[in-house]
Amino acid sequence: MESPIVLVTGAGGALGRAVRERLTRDGARLVLLDRRAPSGDTHGSWTTAVDLLDEAAVADAVARAEDEVGPVGAALLLAGGFAAAPAAETDLAKVRGQLDLNLATAASVVRALLPRMTERGEGTIIGVAAGQARRGGARAAAYAASKAALAAYLRAVDEETASRGVRTVTVFPMGTLDTAANREAMPGADPGRWIDPARLAEVLAFAVGIGPRARLREVEVHPDA
C-alpha cells in the first residue's frame, strides 16, 4: 500500500517531535504546517511556515501540499498553547487568545481540508484536547474552555461528515506531558507521574492508522503512576 500522507500542525513542539518520529517509523509521509519551520530532522517532510490564524494562507498551504505531495489522508492538530491565571485575573483578551491558539488554529486547517476530504470520501481529523476540558482546572479557566471548545467543535464536524467518510478523533491527555518546558516550569513536581510524549504519540499514530470497520471518537490517555 502507498504510504499515508499525514498533515501535522504544531510539529515543532515536544509532542510534535515525538509524533513526527513515530509516524516516520510507520512509513507515513508528513506535511508540516507551523508558525516557523520545525527544528531537527524533518525526515524529508513537506514543510512550510504559515500563520494558522490566516485562513487564506492555510488554504494556500494545503493546496500546495496536496499538489506537490498528494491527498492528505489524516490531519493531526497539535498546535496550541497554555496560559495559567486565576479566573478573576483572566480578561477577555486572554480568553480570546486561548481560543485562537487552541480552537481557531484547528478550525482554519479543518476548513481547508474538509472539502477535499469529503470529495474523496475519506479522511481522519485528530485533535488533542486536555484533561481540563473534561474536569476543569484551577488557574486554567480560559485554557479549559478553549480545549472544551475544540472537543465540541470536532464532535460537530464528525456529525456533519462521518456519513461521508470523514471522521474526527479527540484525544484527551489526562495529565501533564513530560516535556523540558514543563520540568522547568514545575521543578518541584515528580515527572514520573506525567505522561511520556512518546507514549501519547503512539496513541495518535494508532488513531491515524486504525483500519476500516472500527473507529475511535474520543480517547483519554492517563498517566501510569
| pLDDT of 40 strictly over 70 | no
pTM given for the model: 0.95
Q: How far is CA 4 from the centre of its chain?
A: 17
Number of other residues whose CB lies within 10 A of the CB of residue 54 = 12
Judge whether 183 lies within some domain: no
Q: What are 172-197's pLDDT values in tens digits?
A: 999 999 999 999 999 999 999 999 99
Q: pLDDT for 93-117, tens place per residue?
A: 999 999 999 999 999 999 999 999 9
Q: Does residue 225 sit within a domain?
A: no
Instruction: Report yes or no on 139 lying in a domain.
Output: yes
Say yes or no to pLDDT of 41 above 90: no
Within a domain: 187: no
Q: Per the domain annotation, does 64 fall within a domain?
A: yes
Contacting residues for 53 by C-beta, under 8 A, at least 6 apart:
100, 104, 105, 108
- Position 98 in a domain: yes
Greater confidence, 146 or 225?
146
Domains identified in the chain, total number:
1
Distance CA(34)–CA(24), nearest Å, equals 18
Average pLDDT, the chain: 94
Q: Tens digits of per-residue pLDDT, 189-218?
A: 999 999 999 999 999 999 999 978 899 999
> Domain range for residue 147?
5-170+195-219
CATH of the domain at 94: 3.40.50.720
The 10s digit of each residue's pLDDT in 42-70 is 667 999 999 999 999 999 999 999 999 99
* 189 within a domain of the structure (yes/no): no
**Could you tell me if residue 44 is inside a domain?**
yes
Contact 90, 142 (CB under 8 A): yes
Binned at pLDDT 50, 70 and 90, residue 158 comes out as very high
